[in-house]
Structure 1
Amino acid sequence: MTSRPDQIEWTEHVLVRDGVRLSCRDWGREGGRDGSGGSARSLLLLHGLAGHAGEWDALARLLRADGHRVVALDQRGHGASERQPADTSRAAYVADIIAVLDDPGLGLAGGPGGRPPVLVGQSYGGHAAFLTAASLSAAGHSSRVTGAVLAGAVLAGAVLVEAGPGGAEPGLPEEIRGWLQAWPVPFPSREAAAAYFGGGPVGDGWAGGLERRDGGWWPRFDPEVMGASLAENSGRDWWEEWAAIGVPLLSVVGEKGIMEGDEYDGMARLQPGLRGACVPGTGHDLHLERPDVLHDLVARFLDELPR
């Protein structure tokens, strides 16, 4: 584990799974303090497509201050992790998450009080979170997602931000790949990038995923890899996997986000215990717009989990 010289709030933890480098922001746990009434948890935070672990910084600070153990993962193809993975399947993303949960150097599985960890994911990261929950619910027999018997990781629950099991429209991977390729890179400054992405906390969040090199600011992903990562979501849905989940779930959507009411209704029918919340005035990146509100929702969900 190495410290960041420009950022003392977290340390970088790196693990390698099947030759793929996976980088995590390890926020630890503030002073070992348990401000959550004895119900502290380990949490693994998962960003969306073309995102980065730094999107969770504001939420991570709040959760750590509550006494929780917090780690944010740069998923394969993103950020400080391997940017050109040969495998961009959903199964590969899920297997990465399980490897992080099982990694003894992070100790998420044996977190505060020995309680199982909780996943928090936004958009594509939320999709990976519920597929992981489905896989771990199938532990002891062949997983629907990975096709293999899983290791010993277990979950206490999952929080999905702007994510659900409905299939993507055909052509979406090409559309997103085209949008990413259209970015006017390199950006001359981080401020210019933030303005391009709309300014405010959302613009700052997207600009925070760039790296400075060769006289400008560049994305830390390959648009082709991003398009390939979406391939399985185009033309199929994941309702069978959703129905297989056996842990508590919280779905948080933005008032102006991408989640449709019909999809949420279907989610609730298959998971009658589903908790749901809509954050007024926010869009797809509500975790950037209102991390304080998301924190309150996550904190309440954590408090309600069995101890």
Structure 2
Amino acid sequence: MEKRTTTAGLSVITLSGGDRGTVLLLHGLAGSATEMVPLARGIAAAGYRVLVPDQRGHGHSTRRPDDVSRAAYVRDAVALLDDGPAWLVGQSMGAHTAMLTAAARPDLCRGLVIIEGGVGGGGGDYPERLGKWFASWPVPFADEAAARRFLGDAPIADAWIAGLERRADGLWPRFDADVMAAAIREVAAVARGAERDRVTAPVLTILGEHGTLDPAEVRGPAVVVAGAGHDVHLDRPDETLRLVLAFVSGG
């Protein structure tokens, strides 16, 4: 069974696959629960309950939240785990959130899967550059074809296009550029190596062969998925599912 609910401004898709445990699946910056649903369905089919939120500022959740601090994202994750410990699986910024949650609440983490995520830090002008790029989108797009011409045909573009919101004047992304810049600025501001070192649960790190993560952000060994970029779960969905299931079934 698959359903979407909204609580305290956070929209969550729940897939009830069985009683083998709960998996919390967190998308990355400018992503959405929708892009994670194929992975979630595979996990649920193996007998797990899967929670897939639109993180604050994204998707169907509150578009302009008052707080986009790392602590706020962690609070959201913790609030979803009212049934006890779960496997935490995140990609990019979602992996950073999952890592901080595992460090802050070890009692709620059975295992941690980090997909193209690291400890953050690095600073620089990356958040501003990224925000400017999102702000450069010529929205509203007249239709999906117009969106495709601008965004291209990579798997991440497919995910963005699938998630566009239809309004009277055309198609709009389900996020605001300045909110995205503010959210990723929090990730880039401080390297959280100390928090990563406090994680006591088993950890699986998955990287794309052509990923964009700074190697300095990675802690510990990693599995590298051939042919994948930063969006490993979209570029190589079958291999991502295989790796996640092997990890959670062994944890």
TM-score bucket (shorter structure): over 0.9
Unaligned runs of 5+ in 1: 1-8, 35-39, 110-115, 138-152, 269-273
In the alignment, residue 185 of structure 1 is paired with which amino acid?
A: V
Question: What SS is found at the alignment partner of 2:246?
Answer: helix
1:10 counterpart = 2:2: yes
Secondary structure of the structure 2 residue equivalent to 1:180: helix
Decide which of 7, 24, 44 is 1:64's aligned counterpart: 44
Structure 1: which amino acid aligns with 2:248?
L
**Alignment match, 2:103:** 134
Between structure 1 and structure 2, the one with the greater Rg is 1
Alignment-mate amino acid for residue 230 of structure 1: I
Residues 192 and 228 (structure 1 numbering): CA distance in 2 closer, same or farther, change over 3 Å?
same
Size of the aligned set, in residue pairs, is: 251
CA–CA distance in structure 1, aligned partners of residues 185 and 214 of structure 2: 21
Unaligned runs of 5+ in 2: none
The CA RMSD over aligned residues, in Å, is 1.7
Q: After superposition, where does 1:1-307 map in structure 2 within 5 Å?
A: 10-16=2-8, 21-29=9-17, 32=18, 40-102=20-82, 107=83, 109=84, 116-137=85-106, 154-264=108-218, 267-268=219-220, 276-305=222-251
Q: Percent identity?
A: 43
- Secondary structure of 1:156's match? strand
Aligned counterparts of 2:148 and 2:25: Cα–Cα separation in 1: 23
Per-residue deviation, residues 159-206 of structure 1 (Å, max 9, x unmatched): 111000141331111111101001111112224324432214332112
Give the superposition deviation at 1:233: 2.8
1:171 and 1:234 in contact (8 A); partners too:
no
CA shift at 1:94, angstroms?
Answer: 0.3
Provide the TM-score with structure 1 as the length reference.
0.77
Contact 1:196/1:203, CA 8 A, preserved across alignment: no
In 2, Cα distance between the equivalents of 1:194 and 1:121?
26
Q: CA deviation at 1:236?
A: 2.3
- C-alpha offsets along residues 262-281 of structure 1, whole Å, 9 cap, x if unaligned? 443xx11xxxxx5x211111
2:211 alignment partner AA? G
